[in-house]
Chain A
Amino acid sequence: MKTRRFSLVLGAVMAFLVLVLSACGGATPAPATPVPVEPTATAAPQEPTPVPATPTEELPIPTVVQMPEQIAGGRPVEIVVAGAPPDSQPELRAAWDEQAARFMALYPNVKIVASDYRYDPDSFAALVAANQVPTLFQVYMTDPGKMVEQGVAADLTDYFKATGLDKLFNASVLNIVTVNGKVYGIPMKAYAMGLAYNKNMLAAAGFDHPPRDWNELASMAQALTNRDTGVAGFTFIFGDPKAAGWHTTIIAYDFGLKNTDIVYEENGKYKAGFDNEAMRNALQMIYDLRWKYDVLPLEANDWAKNGEALATGHAAMALMASDQFIWIRQTFADVDMSQFAFAPLPAGPSGKSVSLVGGDVAMISASATPDQVEAAFYFRVWTQLDPHEIMARYEAGKKDPTTVVGGPSVPLYTDPYQSTYAALEEQYSNLPVEYSLFQQSVVSGQTVFMIEPQIAGQDYYGILGPVVNTIVTDKNADVARLLTEAQNTFQTNVLDLLK
């Protein structure tokens, strides 16, 4: 019968579609399998693949690290290096492979295996369990501390001291990876928290400078908010609980909270103390921003949506990390970056503004052998600090439209190297974001850097986040009561049970 056959055919087609689509829809990208990079030399030492043949003394940046004669005493050693560009970016990958080949030519006993794994908390746990963590991997944002806490990162203090890098890196940046005086990673990039804003929008509303304190921020944001066109005057992360707790803590730091208030030690026990006036004032300001001034975005947001709001013109000002401009440029290629600027956060009651330093860090797996640690350390340091490699990276970056150079950041190194490095970066900068205000504020000491809570920080953020979220979504929220409950929960459920 015709209908029966039709039903059969329809059923078969639908079954096929279901199988195909459910297979595609459900697949999660697996960490890429390492692909060995073929060294260009096997027998006789060969010239490294093309690099400007300028003698090192004539390069605009000095050598600051003496590379060793031999790595691992000449013994064969193999390391897996994560972060290689995927095959979908062949030019970048070719440049990466060439760089690895140059290193292998310098040290023929070292074999570098490329892996295009990009750090991601979900898959990282699986890699650790399977003991397949790449020897050299990168970690972003607030996670370096977590890596150290979990015992996944190798201790590099001795190497830092031997090469003098402990003096080369900026102390506040090295702080991110130092625990109990030991250094566990190599900072690659550092960012600071501040106020990113859209110069054009501010100018259109008649403002020629960013807000200098929080009351001014509130009134400026009121003038800048336009619900009909979907523009929020000010945004910060209040959706994703952990990130919300992080941003709120930064605002509270600005209002006078200290990281030693959050958790302190008393009689050998940990006590929580963030239920204080500074935090209450910060939360009250957030409440007012939402319910009194009505300047915040309405939708729950996370790190990506927060940056997206500024990038797409849905927010005039944003509490943001300085390196998110690079992400904006890479994600929203048509956005005109010259309309943005970066300023310090509005000053708190003390008259100073506060910033938090974070960074991308290269770490070495704790389960690597000492030879592997040595090879990975020197490879990373060489790619980051060898003058020829620095120039090669800038030259390669000029040709690639997705490479972004420049933008506001925290000084990675100390002077005099930092000035030379910054001047060089300025020459190749393709990110026209204005951040002179931020820099001046840092240099003059008007902006003070603080560090994140060191004990049970993740749990603390996870408990504070929902408080902020409630304040922003419930008009009848009792700020003081919510804060007290949060501190009690943190005390009884986390600190008291810390093992």
Chain B
Amino acid sequence: MNLSFPIKKWERLLQRQKVRDQINAYLFLLPALGLFALFSWYPILKTVLYSFQKVGLRGPAGWVGLNNYVRLLGNPAFAIAWRNVLDFVILSIIFGFMVPIVLALMINEMRRYGYIFQVVTYLPTLIPVAIALLVWRFIYAPEGGILNSTLKAVGLPSQLWLQNPKLVKFSLIIIMTWMGAGGSVLIYLAALKEINVEVYEAAELDGFSPWQRILYITLPLIRTRMAIMLVLQIIFVSQVFTEPFILTMGGPGNSTLTPVLEMYRAAFERSDFGLASAWSVSLLMVLGVFSAIYVGLTRRSEASRFS
């Protein structure tokens, strides 16, 4: 600050007050900043550094320049894993994105017992993932599984849900939608409840059918929220690991191989932490783009709320 500028006594007081407030704010932030620095920023920095080193169980053992990246990009698994992620993302958008919205709209329409369905949709989120996947494995079992038994009972052919390379991604997306719907439904319900009831009353007066009301009023009003959820879903699905790891182990012939799964294998099966870090960095770069989009959308949504 330019201290030679003549400051009146009360202005000086105000300045000190602002600084004092800011100091308080920073002090409150300090523990959180410390934790972030220790558990997020420092590991990220270390990962980037490790990606340029040869790192074994005993730690870094020398710089290897771009060798890890050469191995990363030269490995056919890299292209396969990212192509699988693209397939997963597209499938999750087609089959998984609208499900929570539809559920939220339906729950919102119910006058009295909506909260029961709210609880029911949220229950899958409470089940530990590993246990849920054990149950799903039983559902998808090719011989004697619940799904195939039901299909046989109605005369349809049984499918190899987790063994057919063409079906396996779809099967996994169903599981991920089932598990993730509850949280998204809650968020959409909150967004729907923010909509002013008067808008609906006006629409009813104008003779809108419920379907038109949803299409022309509700959806546009939660549009930004939907965009935010879409970006979050892409970020989340790109990191899919548990389902391929437990159910398909990378899938029939690498069809459910994902970057995080490859990263896990490089790190814990081959103790090649340098290569795993290179995988991490590739994930960081791709997801960084989507995170930037997410932040931009959130800012816009907040701004529009006050306009």
Contact = CB atoms under 8 A, between A and B. Distances in A.
A240 B74 contact: no
Interface in B62-110: 64, 67, 70-71, 74-76
A125 B143 contact: no
Contacts of A230: 143-144
Given A298-B142, A300-B163, A458-B270, A499 B122 contact: no
Q: Is the interface of A mostly helix, strand, loop or mixed?
A: helix
Contact of B160 (A22, A24, A298, A499): A298
A474 B250 CA distance: 15
Contacts of A152: 57-58
A300 B265 contact: no
Contacts of A125: 57, 267-268, 271, 273
Given A24-B128, A300-B249, A499 B64 contact: yes
The 8 A-B residue pairs with the shortest CB-CB distance, nearest first, are A470-B253, A25-B128, A473-B252, A150-B57, A298-B142, A128-B57, A230-B143, A466-B254
Interface in A234-268: 239-242
A157 interface: no
A84 to B, nearest CB: 23
Contacts of A26: 128
A240 B269 CA distance: 12
A241 to B, nearest CB: 6
Nearest to A242: B269
B254 A17 contact: no
Contact of A299 (B56, B130, B141): B141
B126 A17 contact: yes
B128 A469 contact: no
A320 B76 CA distance: 31
A493 to B, nearest CB: 5
B266 to A, nearest CB: 9
Interface in A120-177: 121-122, 124-125, 128-129, 146, 150-152
Interface of B: 54, 56-59, 64, 67, 70-71, 74-76, 115, 119, 122, 125-131, 141-144, 160, 162-165, 248-254, 257, 265, 267-271, 273
B147 to A, nearest CB: 14
B70 to A, nearest CB: 6
27 contacts: A7-B115, A18-B125, A25-B128, A121-B269, A125-B268, A125-B273, A128-B58, A129-B57, A150-B57, A150-B271, A152-B57, A241-B265, A242-B265, A298-B143, A299-B141, A300-B163, A300-B252, A302-B249, A458-B270, A462-B270, A466-B253, A473-B164, A473-B165, A492-B74, A493-B74, A493-B75, A499-B64
A333 interface: no
B268 A122 contact: yes
Given A299-B142, A302-B249, A458-B269, 14 more contacts: A14-B119, A21-B126, A125-B57, A128-B57, A128-B58, A151-B57, A151-B58, A299-B162, A300-B162, A466-B254, A473-B165, A474-B165, A474-B253, A489-B76
A359 B129 CA distance: 33
A443 interface: no
Contacts of B70: 497
B252 A497 contact: no
A12 interface: no
A10 interface: yes
Contacts of B248: 239, 300
A499 B164 CA distance: 38
Interface string A285-305: 000000000000011101000
Contacts of A241: 249-250, 265
A241 B71 CA distance: 19
A459 interface: yes
